Amino acid sequence: MASREICVFEDNQEINAYLKELLKKLSKQAIKERGLFSMALSGGVTPEKFYRSLADTSDFLPWDDIHLFMVDERYVKPGDNDHNFSMVQRTILSSIKLPKKNLHPIQTDLTSIQETATSYEKELKRFFYEDGHSKSPIFDFILLGIGQDGHTASLFPGSPALEEKEKLVAISRSEHARHERITLTLPIINLARTVVFLITGPEKKNIVQQIVQDKIGLFPASKVNPENGKLYFILDSGSCGDGSYCVPS
């Protein structure tokens, strides 16, 4: 079981400050040990405020050595309002200029979703294996959200993508999601050194409590267990609810 920490903050401002310090510490350490810092970011509404606050940190993080990947993508064209990487471009990359080689979006402008998934899988393998950064696809940092149905990344309850054991990338569909999705799979998520669930708002308090207490992996999000890494639940007071379960384990 991953070492797990549940951190509860008053508001987004406190969350952003904490996450930025965490990123600073982790990136400094990774760059010292391995020469770069690899992070995969999620879409959705929750992380937008954090991404905007990252944009104020041009000197705070060693951006030249940070490689940015996406956890998942909606199969829509770049520029679409629902396109996750476009949101990252608007919030972070409009202020922080990362070298092009450090950007690893999921290419949704290819001819089919299969091609998109295959090309992202290839890109991950090229980055982690061929460039000699690692012998395994181990991300330094993955930022995840949680949906009210317990999904995380684009791994929805009941989705065959949840059963993927070999591939790093899967295609995913849900009757509750407007678009088909491309997502990192559990095997690569669970290899990461640090995984952070960022969850805010009282509408998430019931699902957060169930996931924190779920020992049998009933929900996709409770299957996230980076065995050699650290798992953080970063909550605001709304998503934490009465907090009775918020004790470190």
Q: Which parts of this chain interact with ligand 6PG (CB under 6 A)?
A: 42-46, 71-72, 84, 145-147, 151-153
Q: Is the Cβ of residue 18 or residue 133 nearer to ligand 6PG in the bound state? A: 18
Q: How far apart are CA 183 and CA 181, in angstroms?
A: 6
Minimum CB separation of residue 159 from ligand 6PG in Å reads 12
Minimum CB separation of residue 85 from ligand 6PG in Å reads 10
Q: Cα angle vertex 66, ends 62, 69, to 5°?
A: 150
Residue with tokens 């559990």: 186
DSSP-derived secondary structure letter, 45: S
Q: How far apart are CA 172 and CA 155, in angstroms?
A: 7
Q: Is the Cβ of residue 38 or residue 200 nearer to ligand 6PG in the bound state? A: 200
The amino acid occupying position 73 is E
Q: Is the Cβ of residue 44 or residue 238 nearer to ligand 6PG in the bound state? A: 44
Contact call for residues 73 and 85 (beta carbons, < 8 A):
yes
Output the six-digit token pair for 196.
Answer: 């952070």
Minimum CB separation of residue 178 from ligand 6PG in Å reads 10
Minimum CB separation of residue 234 from ligand 6PG in Å reads 12
Hey, is 44 helix, strand or coil? coil
Q: Is the Cβ of residue 137 or residue 145 nearer to ligand 6PG in the bound state? A: 145
Residue whose CB is nearest to ligand 6PG in the complex, by number: 145
